[in-house]
Chain A
Amino acid sequence: MNSLKLFARFTTDSVRIVTRGNWMYWTWVGSLLALILVGVVAWIHQTQTGLITTSMRDQVSWAFYIGNFTFLVGVAAAAVLLVIPAYVYNWKPIKEVVILGELLAISAIVMCSLFVTVDVGHPERLWHLIPGLGHLNLPGSLLAWDVVVLNSYLILNLSIVTYLLFSLHSGKSPNKRIFLPLVLLSIPAAISIHSVTAFLYCGLPARPFWNTSILVPRFLASAFCSGPAVLIVLMQLLRRFTRFEIQSEAIWKVAELMSYAMAVNLILLGAEVFKEYYSNTEHLIHMQYMFAGVDGKVAIVPWMWLSVFASIAAFLLFLIPRTRRNPLTLNLGCALIWIGVYLEKGMGLVIPGMTPDTLGEIYEYFPSHNELLISAGIFSVGFLVFTLMVKVATPIMLGEFQRPGTTIAH
């Protein structure tokens, strides 16, 4: 059979897998589709009326959408960085961890692109970003760099995953000389997407809250927490509902690594807090707005404290061996880490950076209903993409698709 025929069968098999499932599967997919529909309607409303349907204004001109974008870039980066410990500790399901990590990365990048798309005033003009056709302002613009690295990263991960799954599906052992260099390349690529996204902020002297060189390491540290949290939950689900074999030790190791990453994240945050409060310059006001409010304006204060406490609690749960081995506290820790990093990277980075604005005005931002609906729709797209891809990948990884007369070398 030639490769083209095999690929056609791979595609039809994939379609067959995603269109078959039990009631739980269909309830999940149906709910996501419903939320996507709501998001699409809200987005149509936004494009027709203008971004005035959001709570953003000139004073706070980036907000919830860009916050979500930033958080998800972290998820995308960290999912792949998990490859490093997988190799270092020589986990048994190494191929599987790589595949799941990349699937998560792909879903996260899809959401990132969608968040940027809904944030811009003219989504129909996004083709202006295509070099040759439009005009990509390199090397000056960091957003232009972000477009380059995010798209490269997406293409890289799509290639790796498609190649691995297609090989396994056709009953061939994936050629290490093809996929290993790509997997290794995806590691610096993962670091680059997160660094460039941090540069997008820290390269702006107009915004003292962001204009700090510590931002890149902070981004990397917090990303190392949020991405693996998803994978830990997913690995447990797969272990329960499929024949997937994942050693508990691997999961515990990831949790342990997350506690170290969270420790670094908290140390870096502490360093920022010290520097601002001790030097007590006019730039302190952004951090004051974040943790105490200014002139009675306290819209984001409770959320920021929730983020701090969730992060510390998760750090402790993952640091103590007994609590990271207990499934209940392990998953509680994952939820707390997700909450902590989501609030810190989303609202906690973007809003205080813009409040007060460059001329000292304080505009209290809190996302509008329409913004929340659109965002829920985008998260649903991401979850749906992830669900469908995992649904296809799982039986292939388990070898349930072996063609007669072919064998998989384990």
Chain B
Amino acid sequence: MSCKQGSCGGGSCGGADRPAAEAATACHDDRDWAPASEGIVENEASRREFLCALAGCAAALAGGCSEITHTPFFQKRFRELSAEERAAFVADLEREHSARFHKPVKVGLQEAKEGVLFGYALDISRCIGCRRCVYACVDENNQSRDPQVHWIRVLEMEKEKGIDFAHANAYYEADTVPRPGHFYVPVACQQCENPPCVKSCPVGATWKEPDGIVVIDYDWCIGCRCCMSACPYGARHFNWKEPEIPEAEMNPNTHALGNRPRMKGVVEKCTFCIQRVRDGRYPACVEVCPVGARKFGNLLDPSSEVRYVLEHKRVFVLKGELNTRPKFFYFYGL
């Protein structure tokens, strides 16, 4: 792998209170989703050095304070910014976050690549409900620890009832998983081709990128939560207070439309780890899954893993009757 791990993107981030995350055995650390990373690697080292210096200056100026993010009042919509304006915008963000977290923070602008449409497949018969994906996601994507924001919800369901949300339990506690008679359905953003959340947003603060990822402009979102009412998958989460991210655990490898630290009063959601997948890497949840239940790749590439699953397994989507057309598929691999 091209080894651009930010801080704790991989499978070694289990906290004491979590199901012990032993070295993930069946994970994808050794490979990228992209066939032979086509020149994605940038001049990372020099960028880091530069940012370090920058952060030092900013921290000195700010007296090392940990100011929370404030959007300039007349900040334009991200989609309307020119290339130069975007660069200046992320430079400001990098300065601010580097000073706040006392480490060089990168806020990437990596754009969608032509010929790429991301898709995800999850093997229901392999998932054991260990929730490692939940916490790897929290770490990778700088979700708030207090109050806890989880982009992935693992639902425990009864085998007798099948997929039945009304009797699902997201708060199961168990010494060992899987529990007899149960199976597990992790749910996050389904990256719909026909996303009801995007349609409902009154200010156009959320949209579908050309590679299929639904993203949010955190500086444009007014926090009305129409998208949360519109989402059939409970995938969108609101910052009810200022999110808390421990300095040491903050992942400095971020994307402007993804895991950069958010402010209170805006909505956030899974982006397939946009900061990783646009660099040819796997999402953190795919890497950490100890049973290899999670598959990811380019739907337009006939040789991709996800295409293999679509062609050789029987897949289904959640709430297909709503015509949201998810790009997140579930299948029974065994």
Contact = CB atoms under 8 A, between A and B. Distances in A.
Interface of A: 49-52, 56-59, 61-62, 116, 119-122, 124-126, 128-129, 134-137, 140-144, 147, 200, 204-207, 282, 285, 354, 356-361
B196 A204 contact: yes
B222 A141 contact: no
A135 B80 CA distance: 10
Contact of A121 (B196, B233, B234, B265): B265
Given A125-B220, A204-B230, A359-B155, A50 B203 contact: no
Given A120-B222, A120-B224, A122-B222, 10 more contacts: A50-B242, A52-B241, A61-B225, A61-B238, A142-B200, A143-B200, A143-B226, A206-B196, A282-B164, A361-B170
Given A122-B221, A144-B202, A206 B240 contact: no
A356 B166 CA distance: 8
Interface centre among A52, A56, A119 (most CB of B within 10 A): A52
B28 interface: no
B201 A62 contact: no
Nearest to B150: A58
Is the contact region of chain A dominated by helix, strand, or loop, or is it mixed? loop
Contact of A51 (B229, B231, B265): B265
A137 B203 contact: yes
Contact of A136 (B203, B226, B230): B203
Given A134-B203, A359-B170, A62 B225 contact: yes
A285 B166 CA distance: 8
B29 to A, nearest CB: 30
A359 B231 CA distance: 10
Contacts of A56: 240
Nearest to A121: B223
Contacts of B230: 204, 206
A119 B240 CA distance: 11
B229 A58 contact: no
A27 B111 CA distance: 62
Interface string B224-251: 1110111111101111111000000000
A122 B203 contact: no
A137 B201 contact: yes
Contacts of A206: 196, 229-232, 322
Q: 6 tightest A-B contacts by CB?
A: A121-B223, A121-B265, A50-B241, A206-B232, A360-B165, A52-B240
B166 A360 contact: yes
B18 interface: no
A25 B164 CA distance: 59
Contacts of A62: 225, 229
A61 B229 contact: yes
